[in-house]
Each structure stands twice: as structure tokens, then as C-alpha cells.
A = this chain, B = another copy of it.
Amino acid sequence: MDYGDFGEARIMGDPRTLQAQVLSRLRRNIMLGRIEPGQSLTIRGLAEELDVSAMPVREALRQLVAERAVELQDNRRVRIPPMTIERFNDLIAARVVLEAEAAERAMPYVTEAIIAEMAELDAAITRAEAVRDYDVWIGANFAFHACLYGAAGRSTFLPLIESLWLQVGPFLRRAIMSSDTHYAVDRHHEALTALRLRDTMALRIAIEADIRDGISHIGSTLIRSEARRSAVSAGNA
């Protein structure tokens, strides 16, 4: 059972508890889509992989359940939830309403330094797209948004939004891996322009369009093709 390039979760000198380190590692890997939808996560398997005892893993999994990053099944097993069309549409809708509002509320606190950082992240995304580096592509994308929404240094919206990213991440990776093209309009660029102009409406529109573009269409198509494949598989069983 290989979850990607794991090694020990322990980092020498890290002041965080083991539990926090494990949680951080798992969150990152889920958000980057490095664990497939449907994949089960076992306490003992993860503990062995990360070279820790069961306790920090158990506690981390509890947190991930609460964040909806993983689902607790009837048989008490934990897995990355498979994606459905309805769930996908709900996740996109929730992202749109929360992120547009968060962006608007953040605008008064956005400094030139923040804009510069966001521009750097956007450039990183572009480079990652060119070489199909999915980790950076997805990671920098979320970081771009987090940079903006976190500008006020407050903590109500971002955890909600991160829960959505955790839920969408495993699927997002599959979606961009299966797409040959990318959507033509750089909405991040539009968002940056809106921020520089302090144009709230344009910022909202850019953020919403960014969330809705491409991935929405790719996502729906991929879910349908996976549902078709799943039905065939059920027919064989």
C-alpha cells in the first residue's frame, strides 16, 4: 500500500506534535490529489508508512473525517470518497459562494507584497502546466487563492474553503491529468488586475470564473465517463 513518496513523518527539530505533522502530511497529499478517490486509508498501514505509532494517525484521521477530506464508511473504514456529479456540482457551487465572498472581504487588506506573491504563484502555475508538474500546478493554484483570502489574517472563511479543496483535490488531479488542453483565459491574471485596480466586482467575477472554467466542464465529463466504466464493471461482477 503505497501512498506516494512518503517517508517518516517525523522531522527532527519540528516543534509540532507527531499528530500535527501526520495531519499536515495527509492533508497536503489529499489536497494535491496524490491519493486516489476510493482509496482506503488504514491506521496501521499509514502508521507503518510514516513510521509512527497508531495514535497520531488515528487522531489525524479523525480530523480529516471532520474536514470531509475522507469519509467514514459503515464498516468503520476510512477512504477518499469517490466523486459523483451531484457532489461535484455542490462543491463547485460552495467554492464559488465562499471564495467570491472571501475575496471581496480580503480586498481591503491586500498589500502590494501580497499581489506580488500571488503573481509569482501564478507564474509558477504556468510553468508547472507546461511541464505537467501536477503537484506544483495544484499546490500553487490553491496557494494563490489562499494568499488572497488570508490577507486579512482571519480564520473563518479559509478553513471552510480548505475543506472544499480537500474534497475536490483528489478528483481535480485526475481531471487535469486526463485533459489535453487548458482553458484559454488566465482568470488569475484577471484577478490580479482587479486587485491592482481595487475593482471588487471584477475580482468577484474573476474568482468565480476561475472556479467555474475548465475544471467544471472537465470534471463533469470525467465523472460521467467514470460512472460509465463503473457500471460496466458492476455488470461484469
Tell whether A65 is near chain B: CB-to-CB under 8 Å.
yes
- The residues in A between 147 and 174 inclusive whose CB is less than 8 angstroms from any CB of B are 154-157, 159-160, 163-164, 167
- The residues in A between 87 and 102 inclusive whose CB is less than 8 angstroms from any CB of B are 87, 90-91, 93-94, 97-98, 101
Q: Which residues of B contact A60 (CB under 8 A)?
A: 62
Closest B residue to A71 by beta carbon equals B155
| B163 near A160: Cβ-Cβ < 8 Å | yes
Q: Which residues of B contact A87 (CB under 8 A)?
A: 154-156
Smallest beta-carbon distance A109→chain B, Å? 11
- The residues in A between 70 and 90 inclusive whose CB is less than 8 angstroms from any CB of B are 76, 86-87, 90
User: How many residues on chain A are close to B (CB under 8 Å)?
Assistant: 32
Q: Which residues of B contact A91 (CB under 8 A)?
A: 156
What CA separation (Å) do A112 and B109 show in the bound complex? Answer: 46
Tell whether A129 is near chain B: CB-to-CB under 8 Å.
no
Q: Which residues of B contact A93 (CB under 8 A)?
A: 101, 105
Smallest beta-carbon distance A128→chain B, Å? 28
Contact among B17, B68, B160, B164 with A94 in the assembled complex (CB-CB below 8 Å): B160
Tell whether A63 is near chain B: CB-to-CB under 8 Å.
yes
| A154 near B86: Cβ-Cβ < 8 Å | yes
Tell whether A67 is near chain B: CB-to-CB under 8 Å.
yes
What CA separation (Å) do A101 and B156 show in the bound complex? Answer: 18
What CA separation (Å) do A90 and B152 show in the bound complex? Answer: 11
Smallest beta-carbon distance A118→chain B, Å? 21
Smallest beta-carbon distance A84→chain B, Å? 9
| B101 near A97: Cβ-Cβ < 8 Å | yes
Tell whether A213 is near chain B: CB-to-CB under 8 Å.
no
Smallest beta-carbon distance A136→chain B, Å? 27
Name 11 extra pairs, CB < 8 A, besides A59-B59, A60-B62. Answer: A59-B62, A62-B63, A63-B63, A63-B65, A65-B66, A87-B154, A87-B155, A93-B105, A156-B167, A159-B163, A163-B163
Query: What are 5 A-B contacts defined by CB distance under 8 Å?
Result: A58-B59, A59-B59, A67-B67, A97-B98, A97-B101
